[in-house]
Amino acid sequence: MKPTHIEHIGIAVKSLKESIPYYENILGLKCYSIEEVADQKVRTAFFMVGQTKLELLEPMSEDSTIAAFIEKRGEGIHHMAFAVKELPDVLAEVENKGVRLIDKAPRKGAEGLNIAFLHPKSTGGVLTELCEKPEQE
C-alpha cells in the first residue's frame, strides 16, 4: 500500500450544531457540506484544510458506533483516513500481511468514496479507513 495523502480525519462529536462554530470561528474553516450516512447512522460535516478534510461525525441514533465511541471515550478523534489507489487490491494485500479487516470489500462512504476500515487491534489502536475516489466523474 502507498497512500497518496491523508484524505480526512474523523472526529466524533455529540452535536454538529455545537461543534461547527469552533471550526468556523476559531480555526476559520468553512463547513462546505453536511451529509447523512444512513447505514452508519451518522450525520457528517466536512471542512477542507489543504487537501485534507476534517469529518465531524454526529450519531443519529443510540445504536450508532459513534454513539458507542463517545459513550466509552468521549468526544475526539475517531479515525484517520488514507487515500489509496486500487482499494480492493490493497485490502487483499494487507489481509495477507495479517491485518484484521472490518470491511472485507469496499463499501460506499460519505461523498461517494469507496471506503473500508482496518481493525484498530491491527493498527496500533488507530481506527484506520482507506478511501478511493471512484473512477467516473
**Does 37 help bind Zn ion (rule: CB under 5 A)?**
no
Whole-Å CA distances, 111 to 17, 70, 73, 96, 126: 20, 23, 27, 29, 22
One-character DSSP codes across 68-102: HHHHHH-SEEEEEEEE-SSHHHHHHHHHHTTPPBS
The candidate with the shortest Cα–Cα distance to 50, out of 35, 26, 65, 29, is 29
Min dist. Cβ of residue 123 to Zn ion (A): 14
Residue 20 vs 131, nearer CB to Zn ion = 131
Min dist. Cβ of residue 44 to Zn ion (A): 8
**Does 10 help bind Zn ion (rule: CB under 5 A)?**
yes
57-116 positions binding Zn ion, by CB under 5 A:
81
Question: What character string, x for contact with Zn ion (CB under 5 A) and - otherwise, covers 116-135?
Answer: -------------x------
Residue 50 vs 98, nearer CB to Zn ion = 50
